Structure 1
Amino acid sequence: MLQSFFEPKSIAIIGASKKPGKIGYEILKNIIEGGYVGKIFPVNPKENEILSLRCYHNIKEIKDHVDLAIIAIPATAIPSVLEDCGVKGIKNVIIISAGFSEVGNIELENRVKKIAQRHGIRIVGPNCAGIINTWYNLFASFEVRCKRGGISLISQSGAFGGAFITRANYENVGISKFVSYGNAIDINESHLIRYMADDKTTKVIGIYLESTKDGREFISAAKLASKKKPVVVLKAGRTMSGKRATVSHTGSLAGDDKIYDAAFRQAGVIRVFDFDDFIDTLYILETGMLPSNDNIFIVTNSGGPGVLAVDECEYIGLKVPESSYELKEKLSFLPPICSIKNPIDLVADANYSRYYDTLKVLAESNEVGGVIVICVPPIFIDPMDIAKAIVDVKAIFDEKKKPMIACFMSGDVVAESIKFLKENKIPVFQTPERAARAMQKLVLRKKIIERLQSS
Structure 2
Amino acid sequence: MDFFFYPSSVAVFGSFREGAIAREILRNIVEGGFDGKIIPINPRGGSVKVAGESFEIRPKLEEPVDTAIIAVPARAVPPLMDEVGPLVKGAVVISAGFSEVGNEELERELVGRAGKYGVRVIGPNCAGIFGLHGKFFGSFEVRVKPGGLALISQSGAFGGAALAMGNDEGIGFSAFVSYGNAADLNESDFLEYFADDPNTKVIALYIEGVRDGRRFLEALRYASSRKPVIVLKAGKSESGARAAASHTGSLAGSYDIYRAAFRQAGAVEVGEMEELFDAAKAFEMYGKAGKRVAIITNSGGPGVLATDRLERLGLQMAKLSGETVDELRSFLPPQCSVGNPIDLIADANYERYRRTIETVCRDENVDSLLVICVPPIFVPGEDVARAVIDARCGKPLVVNFMAGELVRGGVRLLEKAGIKNFPTPERAARAIHWLSLR
TM-score (norm 1): 0.93
Residues in 1 aligned to 2:288 and 2:360: alpha-carbon distance in whole angstroms: 16
Partner of 1:406: 399
Residues in 1 aligned to 2:357 and 2:119: alpha-carbon distance in whole angstroms: 56
2:311 matches 1:314 = yes
Residues in 2 aligned to 1:122 and 1:310: alpha-carbon distance in whole angstroms: 50
Runs of 5+ unmatched residues, structure 1: 446-455
Partner of 2:390: 392
* Residue identity in the other structure for 2:297: T
**Are the counterparts in 2 of residues 31 and 138 from structure 1 also a CA contact under 8 Å?**
yes
Residues in 1 aligned to 2:354 and 2:117: alpha-carbon distance in whole angstroms: 64
Matching of residues 5-20 of structure 1 within 5 Å: 5-19=4-18
Q: Deviations over 1:348-372 (max 9, x none)?
A: 1111111111111011111111100
Q: What SS does structure 2 have at the residue aligned with 1:317? A: coil
Matching of residues 158-173 of structure 1 within 5 Å: 158-173=156-171
Residues in 2 aligned to 1:406 and 1:169: alpha-carbon distance in whole angstroms: 19
**Are the counterparts in 1 of residues 319 and 365 from structure 2 also a CA contact under 8 Å?**
no
Q: Deviations over 1:314-368 (max 9, x none)?
A: 0011111343333221211222211111001111111111111111101111111
Q: What SS does structure 1 have at the residue aligned with 2:285? A: coil
Partner of 2:91: 93
Residues in 2 aligned to 1:282 and 1:346: alpha-carbon distance in whole angstroms: 29
376, 379, 383: which one pairs with 2:377? 379
Matching of residues 71-86 of structure 1 within 5 Å: 71-86=70-85
2:60 matches 1:58 = yes
Partner of 2:431: 438
Matching of residues 188-267 of structure 1 within 5 Å: 188-267=186-265
Shift of 1:16: 4.1
**Are the counterparts in 1 of residues 195 and 227 from structure 2 also a CA contact under 8 Å?**
yes
* Residue identity in the other structure for 1:430: P
* Residue identity in the other structure for 2:216: F
Residues in 2 aligned to 1:82 and 1:201: alpha-carbon distance in whole angstroms: 31
* Residue identity in the other structure for 2:314: G
2:327 matches 1:330 = yes
Shift of 1:167: 1.3
Q: What SS does structure 2 have at the residue aligned with 1:397? A: coil
Shift of 1:96: 0.2
Residues in 2 aligned to 1:382 and 1:289: alpha-carbon distance in whole angstroms: 31
Residues in 2 aligned to 1:85 and 1:188: alpha-carbon distance in whole angstroms: 22
Residues in 2 aligned to 1:410 and 1:178: alpha-carbon distance in whole angstroms: 31
Residues in 1 aligned to 2:177 and 2:407: alpha-carbon distance in whole angstroms: 34
* Residue identity in the other structure for 1:69: A
**Are the counterparts in 1 of residues 380 and 406 from structure 2 also a CA contact under 8 Å?**
no
Runs (4+) off by over 2 Å:
88-91, 117-120, 288-291, 321-327
* Residue identity in the other structure for 2:56: R
**Are the counterparts in 2 of residues 212 and 218 from structure 1 also a CA contact under 8 Å?**
yes
**Are the counterparts in 2 of residues 375 and 409 from structure 1 also a CA contact under 8 Å?**
yes
Partner of 2:418: 425
Shift of 1:41: 1.1
Residues in 1 aligned to 2:329 and 2:133: alpha-carbon distance in whole angstroms: 49
Partner of 1:143: 141
Shift of 1:91: 3.0
Runs of 5+ unmatched residues, structure 2: none
In 2 relative to 1, CA 163–24 (structure 1 residues): closer, same or farther, beyond 3 Å? same
Shift of 1:77: 1.4
Q: Deviations over 1:51-93 (max 9, x none)?
A: 211111123xx2x21221111011111121112122x432311
Shift of 1:112: 1.3
**Are the counterparts in 1 of residues 318 and 365 from structure 2 also a CA contact under 8 Å?**
no
Range 293-302 or range 179-188, more displaced: 293-302
Residues in 2 aligned to 1:40 and 1:352: alpha-carbon distance in whole angstroms: 51
Q: What SS does structure 2 have at the residue aligned with 1:266? A: helix
**Are the counterparts in 2 of residues 16 and 42 from structure 1 also a CA contact under 8 Å?**
no
Range 124-133 or range 242-251, more displaced: 242-251
**Are the counterparts in 1 of residues 232 and 269 from structure 2 also a CA contact under 8 Å?**
yes
**Are the counterparts in 2 of residues 156 and 180 from structure 1 also a CA contact under 8 Å?**
yes
Q: CA RMSD in A?
A: 1.3
**Are the counterparts in 1 of residues 153 and 207 from structure 2 also a CA contact under 8 Å?**
yes
Partner of 1:113: 111
Shift of 1:99: 0.8
Residues in 2 aligned to 1:106 and 1:214: alpha-carbon distance in whole angstroms: 17
* Residue identity in the other structure for 2:317: V
345, 348, 355: which one pairs with 1:347? 345
Q: What SS does structure 1 have at the residue aligned with 2:218? A: helix
Residues in 2 aligned to 1:146 and 1:410: alpha-carbon distance in whole angstroms: 24
Q: What SS does structure 1 have at the residue aligned with 2:414? A: helix
TM-score (norm 2): 0.96
Residues in 1 aligned to 2:358 and 2:246: alpha-carbon distance in whole angstroms: 55
Residues in 1 aligned to 2:286 and 2:221: alpha-carbon distance in whole angstroms: 18
Range 419-428 or range 122-131, more displaced: 419-428
Shift of 1:289: 4.3
Residues in 2 aligned to 1:377 and 1:22: alpha-carbon distance in whole angstroms: 48
How many corresponding residue pairs?
A: 433
* Residue identity in the other structure for 2:79: S
Q: What SS does structure 2 have at the residue aligned with 1:150? A: strand
Residues in 2 aligned to 1:217 and 1:6: alpha-carbon distance in whole angstroms: 23
